[in-house]
Amino acid sequence: MEEFNYGYFKKSADYIQSKIGYKVDLALILGSCLGSLAEEIENPIVIDYKDIPNFLISTVESHAGKLIIGDLHGKKVVCMSGRFHYYEGYDFEQLVIPIRVFKLLGVETVILTNAAGAVNTSFKPEDIMIINDHIKLMGASPLRGPNLEEFGPRFNDMSKVYDRNLIFIAKKSAEKISLDIKEGVYYFCPGPQFETPAEIRAIRILGGDAVGMSTVTEAITASHCGIKVLGLSLITNMAAGILDQAITADEVDETATKSAMRFKELLREVLKEID
């Protein structure tokens, strides 16, 4: 595992800062096929991940692999169009990089979005779920290794990872646009294979409402850094075994693309309400 120090992350942040010249208020990380949400950013500055020192590179086809920085509904935002996953071959400890870089850019709030499978049988594809907690029972913590006090304490409380005020704002925003929004627990699985029906039954027993392969490492890192987190899952499919049909990446992408406009509408309202 690569040894990280404060200077490692500062090198990335300094490069990005040299391109923008201002403090960023909020970060937005976009999941599978939700990259079109970045199109609303005004005065955009676009930076390829590969050009940022010490950053990672997205290998997922539906992820653009770019930072888009600019103005969005009165906020200075940095948007990741495409994120990084354990299944791409990265170590859990490497997945701290984007959030720690954002912390050094001045980010105080991060909105994490993803495409997820419904474990809760009352959910349906195209629903949007506010994440109120998560379950991660496998693999290393992204915080493993020497602790960097500049970012947070050695032992970090995880009682309220998903900010209660941001959850309230998301609910009120959904009401405003007449969106029947869901709320629940996101269960992290490593991927890249989809889960088996037996795994989904176990996840349901353990309390998971939706399942996916991202978001949790980012939420853990943000919590450690003192960054407020709002998590939103777009339900793109029913999880394995609920319906008598195979799950495909095409199904996930198709539903995410179809639902992007509704997702944008919700995010627009949320951003207006965040101080």
What rounded mean pLDDT belongs to the chain? 91
| Cβ neighbours around 57 below 10 Å, total | 13
Output the CA–CA distances (angstroms, integers) from residue 104 to 13, 135, 171, 194, in the order listed: 6, 27, 30, 35
For the chain, what is the domain count? 1
- Reported as a pLDDT band with limits 50, 70 and 90, residue 188 is very high
Mean pLDDT of the region 53-81: 85
> Hey, which residues does 79 pair with through a beta bridge?
28, 68
CATH number for position 126? 3.40.50.1580
Rounded Cα distance, 79 and 13, in Å: 14
Q: Is 20 exposed, middle or buried (CB count within 10 Å of its CB: 0-12, 13-18, 19+)? A: middle
Predicted local distance difference test score (pLDDT) of residue 30? 85
Angle value at C-alpha 232, between 186 and 200, nearest 5 degrees: 25
- Reported as a pLDDT band with limits 50, 70 and 90, residue 6 is very high
Domain of residue 58 covers 6-273
The alpha carbons of the chain give a radius of gyration, in whole angstroms, of 18
Rounded Cα distance, 275 and 127, in Å: 26
Rounded Cα distance, 17 and 27, in Å: 14
At 195, which helix (H) or strand (E)? none
pLDDT tens by residue, 168-184? 999 999 999 999 999 99
Q: Above 90 in pLDDT, residue 34?
A: no
Predicted local distance difference test score (pLDDT) of residue 264? 86
Mean pLDDT of the region 36-63: 84
Question: Residue 216: what are its φ and ψ, rounded to 5°?
Answer: -65, -40
Predicted local distance difference test score (pLDDT) of residue 89? 92
Rounded Cα distance, 103 and 264, in Å: 24
Output the CA–CA distances (angstroms, integers) from residue 215 to 23, 111, 188, 249, 272, in the order listed: 24, 10, 8, 18, 23
Rounded Cα distance, 24 and 201, in Å: 42
Q: Does residue 1 form part of some domain?
A: no
Q: Is the peptide bond before 142 cis (omega within 30 degrees of 0)?
A: no
Q: Does residue 56 form part of some domain?
A: yes
Mean pLDDT of the region 49-61: 85
Predicted local distance difference test score (pLDDT) of residue 35? 64
- Contact call for residues 79 and 38 (beta carbons, < 8 A): yes
- Percent of the chain past pLDDT 70, that is, above it, reads 96
Q: Above 60 in pLDDT, residue 33?
A: no
Mean pLDDT of the region 65-76: 90
Q: Does residue 117 form part of some domain?
A: yes
Q: Above 80 in pLDDT, residue 74?
A: yes
> For residues 262 and 122, which has the higher predicted lDDT (pLDDT)?
122
Rounded Cα distance, 114 and 129, in Å: 10
- Reported as a pLDDT band with limits 50, 70 and 90, residue 91 is very high
pLDDT tens by residue, 130-154? 999 999 999 899 999 999 999 999 9
Single out the residue of 37, 47, 58 nearest to residue 128, CA to CA.
Answer: 37
What's this model's pTM, rounded to 2 decimal places? 0.93
Question: Residue 262: what are its φ and ψ, rounded to 5°?
Answer: -65, -40
Q: Above 60 in pLDDT, residue 127?
A: yes
pLDDT tens by residue, 198-254? 999 999 999 999 999 999 999 999 999 999 999 999 999 888 878 877 777 777 777
